[in-house]
Structure 1
């Protein structure tokens, strides 16, 4: 079959050569494949944020091998896997990173443990280079998913706990999914029954802010907070011409309570 594209998502950052080395491995095996770098700025070891970044992006990408590495368990007995979903194959650690994106792509139809396409020497600390990138490259070049290793029962794949969200009259209880590069704080909740212009008290962990319900960042005065639905369909707390993260210092998974002004 093969793929023209390999998307690439990691927590490697850009200060080191890790993303470039992985792309080099891909280039040696599948020189015609194009690598689409989604992000290498997932917070270090934050599997939940990596899963959200990947899931919110894959629906806009061409059919591809989706290579994702946020892997705090590298070198342990956690499985490296390839997951087939729709027209795509997702390659990465079996730690919950791939499952939400597979759901966006139509659901998991098959899964395989990666045992076949590895570099000759496999480091205990860099499976992105030695296991995941070679497998992604071979799939892009035309290997079938069932050639990467033995089948795995999709029901046995690791799944992340579902984020907490409860919507009640005048109150939403939810949690932080993550923070983007602009300092916007994305929440797990996707709706709030409040009209634009309504004010909300947003308690995020041990900090809080008063925010106006709006549709755009400019619905709040410069330096003030706005609660809106972001491009991924989640509620987000933003500060117009500023950073909500700087005000709230949220951590992933932090509890959030939104209370409508009365």
Structure 2
């Protein structure tokens, strides 16, 4: 709904996307969705994921940034918040293509960049549920703010302005290409056990052999375009649907083999492609 921030501020939003590390074992996502439904019953909630690894801000930021280009114009509610209840700011970040709501801890800015960059930001000091829990700002601070935005409340009524340049950014991943090698970091692991790296390119021909090392563990892989370019049970290095280099095992879990975790150093050593038979 709406093509510009001014229009959407007046009319609201039909969609709220929702990204957290809450998991599904508890009722936390449903409670937040219930708060939204009471304030903005017209808004449809699109659940991106609630399976971000607990407190993994960088993974949450990557998941959100990779999702938002394919979502409708929306309020994007994101909560991965190990600093809940501390001095970290709750914020709404306005872009020309939607508003992001969540903690100012590095979670939101990569997605804001994808949506064209932050044009304004506001600290969330209004429209809280009372009393505000020190441990559940998703329910008491962020969900109400997202819902009021969806209902048409202008962002500048949520609280005082924040300079977008002062918003917290996550650390930039280290990526360095050298002849025959690529040094980078793990961005995260998906539900299939594929290991997504920060690098967005690999200077190697299909069929080249790769020694992939993450932390102290390693495996041998082939450079391919699809998972099936490696025999079943063997590893392949490819560019995934988000444009990142990834290590996968056809029919298996590269994450389990490499014990990969977000932020770990990854090194790919590339050999020449095998000659045709």
TM-score, normalised by the number of residues in structure 2:
0.94
Is 2:220 the counterpart of 1:210?
yes
Partners in 2 of 1:177 and 1:21 — Cα distance?
Answer: 29
Shift of 1:169: 1.5
Aligned equivalent of 2:75, options 65, 69, 75: 65
More deviation in 166-175 or 34-43?
166-175
Shift of 1:85: 1.1
Is 2:150 the counterpart of 1:134?
no
Provide the residue aligned with 2:232 in structure 1: 222
More deviation in 4-13 or 114-123?
114-123
Shift of 1:120: 1.7
Provide the residue aligned with 1:7 in structure 2: 17
Deviations 1:42-71 (A, max 9, x none): 000000000000000000011000000000
Aligned equivalent of 1:236, options 221, 235, 246: 246
Is 2:185 the counterpart of 1:175?
yes
Aligned equivalent of 2:112, options 102, 120, 124: 102
Provide the residue aligned with 1:50 in structure 2: 60
Provide the residue aligned with 1:32 in structure 2: 42
Partners in 2 of 1:118 and 1:27 — Cα distance?
Answer: 15
Provide the residue aligned with 1:89 in structure 2: 99
Provide the residue aligned with 2:194 in structure 1: 184
- Gaps of at least 5 residues in structure 1 are none
More deviation in 95-104 or 251-260?
251-260
Provide the residue aligned with 1:111 in structure 2: 121
Provide the residue aligned with 1:193 in structure 2: 203
Deviations 1:12-51 (A, max 9, x none): 0000000000000000000000000000000000000000
Q: Say how many residue pairs are matched.
A: 262
Shift of 1:261: 1.6
Q: Secondary structure at the match of 2:70?
A: coil
Deviations 1:58-116 (A, max 9, x none): 00011000000000000000000000012200000000000000000000100000001
Partners in 2 of 1:41 and 1:5 — Cα distance?
Answer: 20
TM-score, normalised by the number of residues in structure 1:
0.99
Runs of 4+ more than 6 Å apart: none
Q: Secondary structure at the match of 1:119?
A: coil
Q: Secondary structure at the match of 2:119?
A: strand
Partners in 2 of 1:64 and 1:133 — Cα distance?
Answer: 14
